[in-house]
Amino acid sequence: MSAHALTRPRRARKGNLAGSLLTVFFSLLSVAYVFPVALIFINSLKSKAAISAAPFALPDAGSFVGITNFLNGIASGSYPFYRSVLYSFFITLASTLLILLCTGMCAWYINRVNSRICRLFYLLCAVSMVVPFQTVMYTLPQVANRLHLDNPYGITVIYLGFGAGLAVFLFSGFVRSMPAEIEEAALIDGCTPPQTYFRVVLPILRPTVISVSILELMWIWNDYLLPYMVLDRTQYMTIPIQIQYLNAGYGQTDIGAMMAMIVFSIIPIVVFYLVGQKGIVSGIIAGAVKG
Amino acid sequence: MKKRIALLLSILLTLSLTALAGCASKQDGGSDSSSGKVYYLQFKPEQDQQWQDLAKAYTKETGVPVTVVTAAEGTYESTLKNEITKSNAPTLFQVNGPVGLANWKPYCYNLKNTALYQQLTSPEFALKEGDTVYGIAYVIETYGIIYNKTLLQKYFDASWSSIKALNGIKDYNTFATVVREIQQHKKDLGIAGAFTSSGMDSSSDWRFKTHLANMPLYYEYVKDGITSTAAVKGTYLDNYRTVWDLYLDNATVPRTQIASKTGTDAETEFATGKAVFYQNGTWAVNAVTGDGKLSADELGILPIYIGVEGEEKQGLCTGSENYWCVNSKASKADIQATLDFLEWVVTSDTGTTALAEEMEFTVPFKKAKESVNPLVKIADQMIKDGKTPVKWVFSTMPSEAWKNGVGAALTAYAQGTGQWKDLETAFINGWKTEYQKVHG
Amino acid sequence: MADRNAALTPAAPLTPPKKRKKAKQPLKRYAVFFFLPTAAAFTLAFLAPFLWGIFLSFCEFFTITDATWIGLDNYRRALQDVGFLYSFGFSALFTLVTVVLINVAAFFVAYALTRKIRGSNLFRTVFFMPNLIGGIVLGFIWQILLNGLLGLYGTSLAASTAYGFWGLVLLTAWQQIGYMMIIYISGLQNVPHTMLEAAKIDGATSWQTLRKVIIPQVRPSITICTFLTLTNSFKLYDQNAALTPNSLPYKILEDGSHIKTTATIAKNIVDQFNENYFGTDGIAQAKSILFFLVVVVIALLQLYFTRKKEESA
């Protein structure tokens, strides 16, 4: 199917009563849908006392605090917020790139070679997708620590391992549908397998590359438990970890700063979505149908 | 050709990522193995900044790297559990008393022959078993009912008040009278309630499931002449209920709403003069004083009266749930570095000043400076006046699960969705069950 | 649900090798280049911790480096834990409700949006939006929202198991309907026009067309969405932990212990890890293995029924 068809629905006929009613209905529903997120934006501008006393009120002269919450969120604690932002961006982008680079090759290899080990690996990938994170919650950090992977560089390797299941799965689905003749021709023409992969196979895999990158980006950017458990906490934090830290105990919850940090964490991913909407939609569909 | 370059680049990327990963951590481990380093995992978020500053000062003075990490709320134990087996494990951590210690004994370095232990004003501040010193209390804290002096004076001066001076409040009945009259006339005083909201959100519920629960427990121990027990009787649970009702019915919010109220809510209500009474301790001073909040000399603190015979002589609740333990499985150099750091903290001018003036701690060490905390001064005065401090026996509560059960029952009772007998079950039967679980 | 399990669809195993000539031979020599990086990372990050976790479920330990083997004891104690069994039931019921609710709602939203509606693009964008936000944040947002609303009636999420349960249903539905909607829309757009026109010519009502023509045609989408919602709901943790962090209210039992009545199975396991006394971590590890096995069984059952349906179709 094509994503283009999806984003171009049939136009409403004029005077279609049922259609208009549905439009009204969906408009109302949309407002209800946006409301919880709007609530965060509104409250991020209010003082913490006002947030708690009247969460639904718009900021007024008494409760409006401008960007104070944002400044508090950035400055709070001993760990400057810009560092978390940098680490979040780095970890998300580097991990996704690494996953794309390695799993695409891997999927092509295991499908074309198709040895017993390849089939076993494929099966393990499938199993890994249903394993709840709780199963490895306490052992993974130990492994990561021992292998010196508990830093923003190393965690990309962890994400490669964890993201491999899904990515190999998706790439395999696509590779299987590709005719092998083109590659074989390239090989016969004297290309080495790496050349063949990057010159011939990868361009064909492009739609799946987009799907995989979107699914992995969304997962890694929002992930909390894995980086929280794995990263060396004396040095590194990501945005979700720091949001959770602001929720620190003994009556010190700064709910205003928390709202502001949430706004910070939402904006990049929403911008990403609005820019790449078409790709995301086709990515999800591919993710659902392939495999 | 281009493809070959692309290929090369991609290999380089993979290699550099793994290499960087390796290097980054090698540097961490390599550079300080000779001289030792300190990694302090602590659990008091309100003092995080002060510890960071102190660590920096020490590193500047001695060159020894000190890292301070504060674990997120409710996660200290699990964080510690997770961190302690890592290669870069905390060299210094905390336990909250004998119950907490039980788990961590194998990781506690014997502090018997250390300068830190020698510095203690009294050996009773150490967690000991026989000849082994597992942990050392580093801060003595006090809690009670903090009040707003200005507002309370307004009450004393009012025509309708039946108690006219602070010394008129000497037991539960007199205190309850004051509370009820204030609540009745809250409009006259321009406040929202006598008590701040008793928030049962996890940032605040420890004030009631642990600190307030200390009262009935303390009196039971006193009556039975014990210091800990495998099976609690719940002799004073009716008193617990009476005080809890007093808090709930005379507060800034209806009792049905406390489940979603947070520590910040109560703190803000008190700091902005919306309530007169606030059950909390010496550690709360910083949060309620300052610009647009109260001034330090507006703060007073009263004992928590629960209506027990002879409570006129009762003082504030004083004790510690903060013990330093040194990781015995750290390298020798790191252990030494940690001990040196601690000695510096409790003896050097910078260290003692930071403890007394920045963190406002009362510390049980010989060279300690006097804390600037206004509530600490009141507490000291009460002891001089012959009041008996209430011991922190909540450190003998069998487990977190027990506290959570009591907290949940308190919440349900307050909301009217549960019965008081559920609390009695959680308190008495739950103690026995949890005690058996913990002690095998 | 920006979740990597999003694409979890019934696995089609690699087919046994067709006898093809040596074309693959040169490739085989490049195993180190193509296969090793992923396989090594997968082994280190997933396989090793997973196998170690299975081992630990048979051990008693406080920190995981001092484990001693105790056999099946952890499993016995896990199955005797009433809180665990309760959470199992909670998750099962929650899964049942959300699977039905989300799929029905997503299907009809998709159905309506592929028809003649003004502003359809905007609606799709809006309905999908919640998926971009992480579960911890979503749970936190809804906690403020629901407590704010319930506060107007003098109560809160902690007052009743029903509030916690339905709040979680509402939040999950709000989040996932948009995702499933996209899959259904693509399925609906694949229904051949000729079939719809034939139905029209035959004088079928729109209800008949829906039941007899459209639904059979989008069955693959239904299968996928059911599978996704099933595993997502059953494994739910972040949203639950942030919406009802203490899992109140508790049911106080006769022996003074308690059941957290709004904890999902994943929450129960993580909470057990966080409880701080000796010997319970092994139980938590055993629970997580049991949890894993149940998820696998669900996945296999789904696979089995899908295969069966495809064969009969």
In a domain, C130, yes or no: yes
Two tokens at A82? 């810009």
On whether both B134 and B272 belong to a single domain, the answer is no
Q: Does the beta carbon of C30 lie under 8 angstroms from any beta carbon of chain A?
A: yes
**Contact of C267 with C247, CB cutoff 8 Å:** yes
Write down the pLDDT at residue B251: 96
Q: Chain A closest CA to C150's CA: distance in Å?
A: 12
CA A41 to chain centre: 22
Q: Does the beta carbon of A58 lie under 8 angstroms from any beta carbon of chain C?
A: no
Sign of the four-CA dihedral B145, B150, B153, B157: negative
On whether both B150 and B278 belong to a single domain, the answer is yes
Two tokens at A234? 């004396």
Write down the pLDDT at residue C15: 57
User: Does C249 sit behind a cis peptide bond, omega within 30 degrees of 0 on the bond before it?
Assistant: yes
On whether both B134 and B151 belong to a single domain, the answer is no
Two tokens at A170? 């998706």
Interfacial B residues in 19-38 facing C (CB < 8 Å): none
**Contact of B150 with B274, CB cutoff 8 Å:** no
**Higher local confidence (pLDDT), B178 or B30:** B178
Report the pLDDT averaged over residues B183-203.
93
Q: What angle do CA B54, B58, B62 make, to 5 degrees?
A: 175
Average pLDDT value over all residues in chain B: 89
| Probe site for chain A from C59, C117, C191, C273 (most A CB atoms < 10 A) | C117
Q: Does the beta carbon of C38 lie under 8 angstroms from any beta carbon of chain B?
A: no
Alpha-helical regions (H) of B158-209: 172-184, 186-189, 206
Report the pLDDT averaged over residues C193-220.
88
On whether both A237 and A275 belong to a single domain, the answer is yes
* C-alpha to C-alpha distance for C75 and C54, rounded to whole angstroms: 12
3-class secondary-structure state, position C252: strand
H-helix or E-strand containing C28?
Answer: helix C25-28
* C-alpha to C-alpha distance for C202 and C179, rounded to whole angstroms: 34
Q: Does the beta carbon of C192 lie under 8 angstroms from any beta carbon of chain B?
A: no
Write down the pLDDT at residue A247: 56
On whether both A127 and A265 belong to a single domain, the answer is yes
In a domain, B194, yes or no: yes
Number of structural domains (chain A) is 2
* C-alpha to C-alpha distance for A156 and A95, rounded to whole angstroms: 4
On whether both B175 and B86 belong to a single domain, the answer is no
User: Of A43, A74, A105, which residue is a domain's last?
Assistant: A74
pLDDT greater than 60 at residue C28: yes
Interfacial C residues in 92-121 facing A (CB < 8 Å): 112-121
pLDDT greater than 80 at residue C25: no
On whether both A19 and A97 belong to a single domain, the answer is no
In a domain, C24, yes or no: no
Write down the pLDDT at residue B178: 97
Question: pLDDT band for position B28 (50/70/90)?
Answer: very low
What's B39's domain CATH number? 3.40.190.10
* C-alpha to C-alpha distance for B402 and A148, rounded to whole angstroms: 38
Question: pLDDT band for position B312 (50/70/90)?
Answer: very high
Q: Does the beta carbon of B247 lie under 8 angstroms from any beta carbon of chain C?
A: no
* C-alpha to C-alpha distance for C99 and C93, rounded to whole angstroms: 10
**Contact of C170 with C143, CB cutoff 8 Å:** no
Q: Which domain holds residue C160?
A: 81-312
A43/C137 touch (CB, cutoff 8 Å), yes or no: no
Q: What is the CA radius of gyration of chain C?
A: 24
Report the pLDDT averaged over residues B223-248.
96
Report the pLDDT averaged over residues B392-409.
92
Q: Does the beta carbon of B204 lie under 8 angstroms from any beta carbon of chain A?
A: yes
| ipTM score | 0.83
| Probe site for chain C from B75, B233, B404, B435 (most C CB atoms < 10 A) | B404
Bridge pairing between strands B66-70 and B38-42: parallel
| Probe site for chain C from A98, A101, A122, A138 (most C CB atoms < 10 A) | A138
On whether both A55 and A137 belong to a single domain, the answer is no
* C-alpha to C-alpha distance for B112 and B121, rounded to whole angstroms: 14
Q: Which domain holds residue B58?
A: 34-140+320-366
| Probe site for chain A from C4, C115, C206, C223 (most A CB atoms < 10 A) | C4
C14/A13 touch (CB, cutoff 8 Å), yes or no: no
Range from A3-17, A137-151, B42-56, C78-92 carrying the lowest mean pLDDT: A3-17
Write down the pLDDT at residue B278: 97
B405/C156 touch (CB, cutoff 8 Å), yes or no: no
B272/A49 touch (CB, cutoff 8 Å), yes or no: yes
**Higher local confidence (pLDDT), B282 or B6:** B282
Burial letters B389-399, b for 16+ CB under 10 A, else e:
bbbbbbbbbbb
Q: Which domain holds residue A51?
A: 3-74
In a domain, B179, yes or no: yes
Q: Does the beta carbon of B260 lie under 8 angstroms from any beta carbon of chain C?
A: yes
On whether both B300 and B429 belong to a single domain, the answer is yes
**Contact of B282 with B355, CB cutoff 8 Å:** no
Question: pLDDT band for position C299 (50/70/90)?
Answer: confident
Q: Chain C closest CA to A278's CA: distance in Å?
A: 10
Write down the pLDDT at residue C9: 43
Number of structural domains (chain C) is 1
On whether both B125 and B173 belong to a single domain, the answer is no
pLDDT greater than 90 at residue B156: yes
On whether both A41 and A90 belong to a single domain, the answer is no
In a domain, C9, yes or no: no
* C-alpha to C-alpha distance for B133 and A163, rounded to whole angstroms: 47
On whether both B283 and B340 belong to a single domain, the answer is no
On whether both A84 and A42 belong to a single domain, the answer is no
On whether both A13 and A93 belong to a single domain, the answer is no
Residue reference for tokens 């025509």: B159
Q: Does the beta carbon of C156 lie under 8 angstroms from any beta carbon of chain A?
A: no
On whether both B67 and B129 belong to a single domain, the answer is yes
The full DSSP string for B91-139 is SEEEE-SHHHHHHHGGGB---TTSHHHHHBS-GGGEEEETTEEEEEE--
What's A213's domain CATH number? 1.10.3720.10
Bridge pairing between strands B141-148 and B275-281: antiparallel
Chain B residues within an 8 Å CB radius of A245: 72
Q: Chain A closest CA to B291's CA: distance in Å?
A: 15
B touches which chains (3+ CB pairs under 8 A)?
A: A, C
A145/B18 touch (CB, cutoff 8 Å), yes or no: no
A112/C24 touch (CB, cutoff 8 Å), yes or no: yes
On whether both B88 and B188 belong to a single domain, the answer is no
Amino acid at C162: A
* C-alpha to C-alpha distance for B250 and B267, rounded to whole angstroms: 17
On whether both B302 and B352 belong to a single domain, the answer is no
In a domain, C72, yes or no: no
* C-alpha to C-alpha distance for C126 and A94, rounded to whole angstroms: 29
C touches which chains (3+ CB pairs under 8 A)?
A: A, B
Two tokens at B19? 């290499």
Q: What is the pLDDT of residues C146-167, one digit of tens each?
A: 988 998 888 889 899 999 999 9
On whether both A148 and A199 belong to a single domain, the answer is yes
* C-alpha to C-alpha distance for A238 and A156, rounded to whole angstroms: 13
* C-alpha to C-alpha distance for C284 and C271, rounded to whole angstroms: 9
**Contact of B74 with B203, CB cutoff 8 Å:** no
| Probe site for chain B from C34, C36, C63 (most B CB atoms < 10 A) | C63
> How long, in residues, is chain A?
291
Q: Chain A closest CA to B3's CA: distance in Å?
A: 7
What's C92's domain CATH number? 1.10.3720.10
3-class secondary-structure state, position B240: helix
Chain C residues within an 8 Å CB radius of B94: none
On whether both A120 and A197 belong to a single domain, the answer is yes
* C-alpha to C-alpha distance for A259 and A254, rounded to whole angstroms: 9
CA B286 to chain centre: 14
Q: For residue C257, is it left (φ>0), alpha (ψ between -120 and 50) or beta?
A: beta
User: Of A51, A74, A97, which residue is a domain's last?
Assistant: A74
In a domain, C241, yes or no: yes
Measuring CA to CA, which residue among B370, B130, B411, B368 is closest to residue B244?
A: B411
User: Of A74, A95, A117, which residue is a domain's last?
Assistant: A74
Q: Does the beta carbon of B78 lie under 8 angstroms from any beta carbon of chain A?
A: no
Chain A residues within an 8 Å CB radius of C292: 130-132, 135
Q: What is the pLDDT along chain A (291 residues), one digit of tens a residue?
A: 333 444 444 444 445 777 788 889 999 999 999 999 999 999 999 988 788 778 888 888 888 888 888 888 777 666 777 788 889 989 999 999 999 999 999 999 999 988 999 999 999 998 888 888 989 988 898 889 888 898 999 999 999 999 998 899 889 988 888 888 888 888 888 888 899 999 889 998 888 888 888 888 888 988 888 998 888 877 788 887 877 676 544 445 677 888 888 888 888 888 888 887 877 777 777 766 543
C116/A16 touch (CB, cutoff 8 Å), yes or no: yes
Closest partner residue to C126 (CB to CB) among A23, A33, A170 is A33
Chain A residues within an 8 Å CB radius of B52: 78
Q: Does the beta carbon of B434 lie under 8 angstroms from any beta carbon of chain C?
A: yes
Number of structural domains (chain B) is 2
Closest partner residue to C145 (CB to CB) among A27, A39, A132 is A39
Q: Does the beta carbon of A250 lie under 8 angstroms from any beta carbon of chain B?
A: yes
Adjacent-strand bridge partners of B146: B278, B301
Q: Chain B closest CA to A9's CA: distance in Å?
A: 40
Q: Chain A closest CA to B265's CA: distance in Å?
A: 7
On whether both A51 and A171 belong to a single domain, the answer is no
| DSSP collapsed to 3 states, C33-81 | HHCHHHHHHHHHHHHHHHHHHHHHCCEECCCCCCCEECCCHHHHHHHHC
Two tokens at B343? 């000695």
**Contact of A198 with C30, CB cutoff 8 Å:** no
Q: What is the pLDDT of residues B263-287, one digit of tens each?
A: 888 998 999 999 999 999 998 998 8
In a domain, C41, yes or no: no
On whether both B103 and B226 belong to a single domain, the answer is no
User: Of B366, B396, B428, which residue is a domain's last?
Assistant: B366
Closest partner residue to B45 (CB to CB) among A141, A232, A250 is A250
Q: Which phi and psi (to 5°) does residue B328 adopt?
A: -70, -15
Two tokens at A130? 């249903």
Chain C residues within an 8 Å CB radius of A164: 38, 41-42, 46
On whether both A69 and A85 belong to a single domain, the answer is no
On whether both B258 and B337 belong to a single domain, the answer is no
Q: What percent of chain B has pLDDT over 70?
A: 91
Write down the pLDDT at residue A161: 93
* C-alpha to C-alpha distance for B239 and B302, rounded to whole angstroms: 17
B7/A145 touch (CB, cutoff 8 Å), yes or no: no
| Probe site for chain B from C157, C244, C246 (most B CB atoms < 10 A) | C246
| DSSP collapsed to 3 states, B42-57 | ECCHHHHHHHHHHHHH
On whether both A171 and A94 belong to a single domain, the answer is yes
**Contact of B366 with B121, CB cutoff 8 Å:** yes
- What count of CB pairs under 8 Å joins A to B? 125
* C-alpha to C-alpha distance for B284 and B264, rounded to whole angstroms: 11
